[in-house]
Amino acid sequence: MPLLSLDSLSLTYPGGASPAVRDVSLALEPGEALALLGSSGSGKTALLRLVAGLERPDTGSITLQGRVLAGPDAFVPPEQRPLRRVLHDAELAAGLTVRDVVMDAQPKGEGVAHARGLLALFQLEDLESRACGTLSRGQRQRVLLARALASGTKLLVLDEPFAGLDAGLRAALLAEWRRVLKARGTAVLFATHDVGDALAFADRLVLLRAGTVEQQGTPEAVYEAPRTAFAAYFLGGTNLLPGSGFGRVARTALGNLPLNAEARGQVMLSLRPEALKLTPDTDGVAVGGALRAEVLERAFRGAHVDFTVSCAGLALVVRAGPASPLREGSRARLEVIGRAEVLEETAG
């Protein structure tokens, strides 16, 4: 049985032109980390507020551990819901020390060793005697997370939990925190607009668009088989390419391409930037299955470079290693080295 289930939830804010949440259904298993992923205004916070009991749904129901928290005939107020939340309005008493905040949130009987373990997890040991009012935003966020986890709750509801944490700390914290949540069997429902955080931290993700579920599944499943162009673009960018499917292959402007699924007739394909390979074309002679291309733009992104190239009448984004010698105006050879993903929609 799922720990938490949302069934056909809808919410329109008073004065709202359109619903913030429309007919959303999802389930969270015990110990699972589920990301609500979406751009600004897609309904992530509204969904978390519904689960926390800070909003009442217009229709639909919310069930936690078999108990209906919200529905046509039920509404459990926020303070009686067996979950911990860290939303944007979360506050910390300015005068309390970091250690006291975490100690106060622990179940009775847990001692200072338990609190220190949590402080260490969130790299707060050096700050344990500091008053909360003197902390930076990122430090406060870590205290809020430690406090939420201290209670031993089975469900955490978190809005942008990693916002305000710098990249190094974020990567270390994400991995370590995930390990601890798994060991404790704590489930997390968290909102993020950051694809990297969702892919790294979540067991499953729910992609939201204008209050509705665009697609849900494991990060791998959604990344490898996006159903729509929106999903493909949101999860890491892509190239859209029309084609004509005949089984596991489609005829396209780039030649016959292998597909991730069966397709017949006109199809729209998503071809990831990493499914394409560029090599410098020094002698102007096309070899093998390579196509001629010209580099229009080069965007250096640290770990990789994104090239926009012109090829076969298309503008394509191709990802390459940071050491690639290609520059704007370079001639190149382009090869397709990965599979194209078949989208459900036929228009881009």
Ligand X SMILES: Nc1ncnc2c1ncn2[C@@H]1O[C@H](COP(=O)(O)OP(=O)(O)OP(=O)(O)O)[C@@H](O)[C@H]1O
- Contact with ligand X (CB under 6 A): which of 24, 28, 42, 320? 42
* Cα–Cα dist 310/135, whole Å: 50
Where in 46-75 is the site for ligand X (CB under 6 A)? Answer: 46
The residue among 41 and 82 lying less far from ligand X, judged by its C-beta, is 41
The residue among 13 and 75 lying less far from ligand X, judged by its C-beta, is 13
Span from 11-19, 23-31, 309-317, 324-332 in contact with ligand X (CB under 6 A): 11-19
Residues composing the chain: 348
Cβ-in-10-Å burial (0-12, 13-18, 19+) of 100 comes to middle
* 3-state helix vs strand vs coil in the chain, percent to 5: 25, 40, 35
Closest separation between CB of residue 223 and ligand X, Å?
21
Residue 154 engages ligand X in binding (rule: CB under 6 A): no
Closest separation between CB of residue 36 and ligand X, Å?
8
Span from 34-42, 144-152, 199-207, 276-284 in contact with ligand X (CB under 6 A): 34-42
Question: Which residues neighbour 265 within 8 Å (Cβ) at sequence distance 6 or greater?
Answer: 244, 245
Closest separation between CB of residue 137 and ligand X, Å?
16
Total of residues contacting ligand X (CB under 6 A)? 14
Residues 110, 111, 115, 118, CA torsion sign: negative
Span from 39-47, 255-263, 288-296, 324-332 in contact with ligand X (CB under 6 A): 39-47
Distances (CA, A) of 132 to 113, 163, 310: 20, 18, 54
* Cα–Cα dist 149/178, whole Å: 12
Helices and strands counted in the chain (H then E)? 8, 19
Residue 193 engages ligand X in binding (rule: CB under 6 A): yes
Residue 75 DSSP one-character state: E
Q: Which of 259, 307, 304, 256 is closest to 279 using CA atoms?
A: 307
Residue 127 DSSP one-character state: G
Closest separation between CB of residue 75 and ligand X, Å?
18
Span from 43-51, 255-263, 277-285, 332-340 in contact with ligand X (CB under 6 A): 43-51
Span from 15-23, 68-76, 124-132, 233-241 in contact with ligand X (CB under 6 A): 15-23
Token duo for residue 65:
């551990």
* Cα–Cα dist 307/99, whole Å: 49
- Contact with ligand X (CB under 6 A): which of 6, 9, 20, 86? 20
The residue among 98 and 191 lying less far from ligand X, judged by its C-beta, is 191
Residue 106 engages ligand X in binding (rule: CB under 6 A): no
Site residues for ligand X per CB under 6 A: 13, 15-16, 20, 38, 40-46, 191, 193
